[in-house]
Amino acid sequence: MPLEMGNGAAYVRFQGLVFQGATGSSTTNIYADGNSHDMEFSSCEVTGSQRQGFFSEPTTRSIQILNCNIHDNGGSGPVHLDHNIYMEGTGHVIANCRIANAPNGSDVQIYPSSDHVIVTENTIVGAGLDGIILGSDGAGTTSNLTLVNNVVAFNGRNGISTYWGGTMGTGNLATKNVVWGNTSGQLVGNGITYSANIVSDPRFVNRAAGDLHVQAGSPAIDVAQIEFALPDDLDGAGRPQGAGPDIGTYER
């Protein structure tokens, strides 16, 4: 794997790097394990892993993934088990990222053991399964997850969903997300509160060509929950450009 962070890894920033091409039957481009904590990945590209793009163990804490392009990871392993981001641990943040095209799995899986993770201002498209899935197994559960201000669209199964193979988590919230065009369902499952989400076409400029900016008239414009909006979008444009910040990675 291109990068592994284990016991003692802390207070490090990785900025403007490309992590790609991890090979093997159980691999990832970025692996955080042990007691690794307080790390930031910003303005990075994570792509082309045979399995996961990013993977963190439940013993990790306070990892921030900011302003990254995470795409086209997985495809060599079993269906359901390859994801762009497979996140466990405490106090993590995924914000302002373009997360796309996980052919064998989900774009973001928060599972099975996490607490107080925030996923905000991302544009999440094109997974073979779910845009975002949270859940549990016998070893742990997902609680106090906040999903806010994300565009989650055109994924192969559900937009946002849950799977509780163990104890159902508590305190999970999905609010102010735009969800649309996900094949099996938009907001699915229990163990999470769905509130003030928008089920409507985000009106991408050209999804087929990979342009996930939104057009005029998009329901994402000016309506993001402001306390979860970063000051700049993925292109570096300031937020807000209008009456309020936009939902998703890009500010119009």
pLDDT in tens, 89-133: 999 999 999 999 999 999 999 999 999 999 999 999 999 999 999
Q: What is the pTM of this model?
A: 0.98
- Alpha-carbon span 143 to 141, nearest angstrom: 6
Q: Is 192:82 a contact under the CB 8 Å cutoff?
A: no
**Average model confidence (pLDDT) for the chain?**
97
pLDDT at 48 over 90: yes
pLDDT at 137 over 90: yes
Please report which helix (H) or strand (E) contains residue 99, including its range: strand 98-100
pLDDT value of residue 162: 98
pLDDT band of residue 1 (cuts 50, 70, 90) is: confident
pLDDT value of residue 78: 87
pLDDT value of residue 80: 86
pLDDT value of residue 67: 98
pLDDT value of residue 85: 98
Q: What is the mean pLDDT of residues 55-65?
A: 98
Q: What is the pLDDT of residues 156-184, one digit of tens each?
A: 999 999 999 999 999 999 999 999 999 99
Q: Is 13:38 a contact under the CB 8 Å cutoff?
A: no
pLDDT value of residue 38: 98
> Which residues neighbour 34 within 8 Å (Cβ) at sequence distance 6 or greater?
5, 6, 7, 8, 9, 57, 59, 60
Q: Is 171:199 a contact under the CB 8 Å cutoff?
A: no
Q: What is the pLDDT of residues 177-232, one digit of tens each?
A: 999 999 999 999 999 999 999 999 999 999 999 999 999 999 999 999 999 999 99
Domains of the chain: 3-228 (2.160.20.10)
Q: What is the pLDDT of residues 219-244, one digit of tens each?
A: 999 999 999 999 999 999 999 999 99
DSSP per residue over 147-211, as a string?
EES-EEES-SSEEEEEEESSSPPSS-EEES-EEE--SSEEE--SSSEEES-EES---EEEGGGTE
pLDDT at 245 over 90: yes
